[in-house]
Amino acid sequence: MPNFSLAIANKNYSSWSLRAWLVLKYSQIKFTEIQILLNTETTHQEILQHSPTGKLPVLHHGGITIWESLAICEYLAECLPHRRLLPKEPFARATARSICAEMHAGFQDLRQNMPMNCRAHLPGKGMSSEVQKDIDRILSIWRDCRSTFGGGGNMLFSHFTIADAMFAPVVLRFKTYGVELDPISQNYADAILNLPAMQEWLTAAKLEKETIPEFEL
């Protein structure tokens, strides 16, 4: 199989980048990582050299380009069937796709008010009744998946799937903003945080020095 090359943004701030990166790392696939820092004078031009949308992440594989974090995760699930990155059973698979799409398109209040910022510790910041509604829906998804599909392991569908990758940035937001979790959700969040790939991402994010004021509450 040709080499994968993934262009990502700042590890401290880029929730979209984390998803695709996590799927590659979890799958133990060798890939070339290109980092383009956000918020510099050349950011846009640099990203356009890799991505038709001017957004990151973007994956290159054997001469083709795949953009949008969810499409990248789906593509990797197709390329690497032995990694079982989508559940096999149709109902579980459809549910995984539904929650991935919901995460990809929704939760605007949470995104805007609790931006991903791995280095920060800001308990209580960004909270509002609208943000709490997003949080409640996410926790209900986690509890439902854990109870319906999660009996064989500690991930949403027992073993790691792209659904876990889609929600991994939310786990980091909850950590930064000290969001209170029920015991089932807390166990799930801890399982995500304990993945070696997540620890690797966090270590690298904490070493980054760049600061983007709009993401620093």
Residues binding ligand GSH (CB under 6 A): 9, 14, 16-17, 38, 43-44, 47, 55-57, 68-70
CB of 57 to ligand GSH, least distance (A): 6
| Helix, strand and coil percent figures for the chain, each rounded to 5 | 55, 10, 35
The nearer residue to ligand GSH, 47 or 156, going by C-beta atoms, is 47
The nearer residue to ligand GSH, 47 or 86, going by C-beta atoms, is 47
CB of 43 to ligand GSH, least distance (A): 5
CA angle, corner 15, sides to 12 and 20, nearest 5?
Answer: 110
Longest CA span, the chain: 49
61: helix, strand or coil: strand
CB of 36 to ligand GSH, least distance (A): 8
Q: Which helix (H) or strand (E) holds 189?
A: helix 183-193
The nearer residue to ligand GSH, 70 or 197, going by C-beta atoms, is 70
CB of 88 to ligand GSH, least distance (A): 25
CA distances from 79 to 70, 86, 112 (A): 14, 12, 33
CB of 106 to ligand GSH, least distance (A): 12
Q: Supply 214's token pair.
A: 């709009």
> Are the CB atoms for 86 and 77 separated by under 8 Å?
yes
CB of 214 to ligand GSH, least distance (A): 10
Sheet holding 58-61, edge to edge: 31-35, 4-8, 58-61, 64-67
The nearer residue to ligand GSH, 9 or 205, going by C-beta atoms, is 9
A 10 A CB-CB count for 186 gives 14
The nearer residue to ligand GSH, 113 or 186, going by C-beta atoms, is 113
The nearer residue to ligand GSH, 101 or 207, going by C-beta atoms, is 101
Report d(CA 135, CA 127) in Å as an integer. 10
The residue at minimum Cβ distance from ligand GSH is: 69
